[in-house]
A and B are shown apart, each in its own frame.
Chain A
Amino acid sequence: MTRVAKAASISAFLAVVFILVPVLIIATGRTDLYYTLTSVALLSIASAGVWLTFFIGRINIGQGAYALMGGYVSAILVVNYGVSFWLTLPLAGLFCAAASILIGYPILRLRGVYFAMVTLVLTEVARLLALALPITNGAKGMVSIPLPGALSIFGVTIIPNFAGMQSPRLAFYLLAVTMMVLCFAAMYRLVNSRIGKLCQSLQQNEELASSIGVNIAYLRVIAYAISSFFGGVAGAIFAAISQSIYPSSFTVTDSINFMLNCFFGGLGYVFGPMLGTLVLYFGWDLLFQTGKFQLLIYSTLMIVLMLFLPNGLLSLGDLLRKRGSNNG
């Protein structure tokens, strides 16, 4: 893609998510879609983290653990210590990144299904810890978390107080979408940087990469830490929206869904997790009318799509392009 085309598509995307979607929602009165799309944005941030671990050749089924951790860090700081939500957001991410360095250093040596299983177990460990630790309030969860307050720098209010708004839903939508845009921009930058190229070499052959002098342990831990940072941020915002967090707020099911979002969108594409989350989550939502057949239809469609596009939805573009060039 040329520079101009790239810039044009980026601004088109930004225009859609920041202007067109809210306008359409207001015009049609479908305000329930704010939350649906907020969820999509947040879940796609967490899925982006999982995608990044795929990028270094690891199947990560542990993102739920970091989302839960992030949610609790933010909730505890806000409720017990009165810290502003806006400060807890980066802190939650950093806490998860730090934890993931400690956990990741030993377990990133594992590969394939072993890594997948250890991270799956990690999700369950996080849930059990949340039940057992005193600071998380255990089984009773943390409820009645206040909405995010105002954010002002040098006396200038940048973000108004959510609690004072008539509908915080639009505010949460804009927050989530902003975070999503930042997250994917960072990912795109990272993947196309020198480090990204090195990571890709890890995905293909770790021994070779290490033999040409790449510090693979360091690279892997960094990628995993970034991945967990995303998970923590997404979890923190979810806790703020639901104004509550329980040990069961993020479970093994969520971890598996994050992974499926990546597969579904396409592992070979940076924007795969975003599209995958959108289609999988929205698809479920759209099938809400079908009542008890919802899961049946949903899973059947998933199998069919998988049969025709096993490399993810975004591989459709490649397929069409290939077909086009064959014809031409």
Chain B
Amino acid sequence: MEQVIANGLYLGAQYALIALGLTLIFALMNVLNFAHGQMYVLGGFITYTVYGQLGLPFVVALLASGMTLAVIGALMEKYLFRTVIKRSHREESTMLLAAATAFFFDAVILLIFGEKQRGVPKIVKGVFNTDGLIMPYDRIAVGALAIVFIAAFILYMQYSRPGRAMRALAQDRVAAQLMGVAVERYSMIGFAMGAMLAGIVGGLLVTITGVNSGIGGPISIKAFMMVMIGGAGVVGGAIAGGFILGMMESVGLTVLREYGDVTYLVIFAALMVFLSIRPNGLMGKPWG
């Protein structure tokens, strides 16, 4: 049982970090970023190239992943999403744009990095092993790093000037604008940060699970689910959602294994029932 809980916690930490970037972009711009998973994959491939192929230190690779994605995110906001939001009658239209950029990233990644699953050497070797609990050291390291990043993100949002501005923006766009917040600038920063988080988590996880060009879509969908559980557009919700989903998978796969292929059926059905009872997730904004 200790093993199951440890698995769940580790899974939760990585899920939470994936969900954070998505929920940030959603909170600021009401954009459901279908390309989030593709950004994660791109971050993974950049770390793969810099750390795995060029042999530079892992930290450099992680920085490269984060920075590249931040730039891409900023450009996407400025030249794509801003334009479409301005010209569109219904803000859901950005979903089509997001999906189109997801396809675009898929195509580019497949052309550049090929169709194969890729992996990099372990960052830390060895396995932590006691009676009831086995956990490889690199998983512990990645889990800890994920928690550090989550904490840093929360502190940044809470206490820095841009962080406060973004929170104001998320709460009420019009009011924030009236209070003198440079809405466009902070939307761009927020989008860049969301993309950067995706890139960093991609770079982190490539050391454990590798990366391949096709997993972007499924990762986006998983991230959507976590965000829905916790409540869309709320940082705490994304973290809670990530941990809850991680724990449900870990416990469910152990408890329900006798019954065959039903674990995910049960998880999904539970999610539907839960959301019918609490239409805004655990702590979401009323108007998703």
Binding site for B on A (CB under 8 A): 54, 59, 106-107, 109-118, 120-122, 124-125, 128-129, 131-132, 252-253, 256, 259-260, 263-264, 267-268, 292-293, 295-296, 298-300, 302-303, 306-307, 310-311
Q: What is the number of contacts between chain A and chain B, taking CB atoms within 8 Å? A: 135
* Given A111-B279, A299-B100, A310-B87, A117:B228 Cβ within 8 A: yes
Closest to A115 in B: B288
> B288 to A111, Cβ gap below 8 A?
yes
Q: Inside 8 A of B217's CB, which chain A residues have their CB? A: 253
* Given A125-B269, A303-B80, A110:B275 Cβ within 8 A: yes
Query: Is B60 in contact with chain A by the CB < 8 A criterion?
Result: no
Q: Inside 8 A of A113's CB, which chain B residues have their CB? A: 26, 32, 224, 228, 232, 288
Size band of the B side of the interface?
Answer: 35 or more
Closest to B79 in A: A307
Give, as a whole number of angstroms, the nearest-CB distance from A105 to chain B.
Answer: 9
> A303 to B101, Cβ gap below 8 A?
yes
> A109 to B228, Cβ gap below 8 A?
no
Interface of B is mostly: helix
Binding site for A on B (CB under 8 A): 26, 32, 34, 80, 83-84, 87-90, 92-93, 95-97, 99-101, 103-104, 106-108, 110-111, 217, 221, 224-225, 227-228, 232, 260-262, 264-265, 268-269, 271-273, 275-276, 279-281, 284, 287-288
> B93 to A125, Cβ gap below 8 A?
no
> B272 to A118, Cβ gap below 8 A?
yes
How many Å lie between the Cα of A252 and that of B225 in the bound state?
13
> B84 to A114, Cβ gap below 8 A?
no
> B280 to A114, Cβ gap below 8 A?
yes
- Could you list 12 further interchain pairs (A-B, Cβ under 8 angstroms) beyond the known A128-B268, A253-B217, A303-B80? A59-B95, A111-B288, A113-B32, A113-B228, A113-B288, A122-B272, A125-B269, A267-B89, A268-B89, A303-B97, A303-B101, A311-B93
Partner of B287, one of A109, A111, A298: A111
How many Å lie between the Cα of A268 and that of B90 in the bound state?
10
Most B C-beta atoms less than 10 A away, residue of A122, A128, A264, A306: A306
> B221 to A252, Cβ gap below 8 A?
yes
How many Å lie between the Cα of A118 and that of B281 in the bound state?
11
How many Å lie between the Cα of A116 and that of B114 in the bound state?
32
Give, as a whole number of angstroms, the nearest-CB distance from A141 to chain B.
Answer: 15
How many Å lie between the Cα of A243 and that of B89 in the bound state?
42
> A260 to B288, Cβ gap below 8 A?
no
> B268 to A125, Cβ gap below 8 A?
yes
> B261 to A295, Cβ gap below 8 A?
no
* Given A267-B90, A307-B83, A132:B271 Cβ within 8 A: no
How many Å lie between the Cα of A54 and that of B264 in the bound state?
28
> B262 to A298, Cβ gap below 8 A?
no
How many Å lie between the Cα of A114 and that of B288 in the bound state?
6
* Given A116-B32, A267-B90, A299-B107, A107:B268 Cβ within 8 A: no
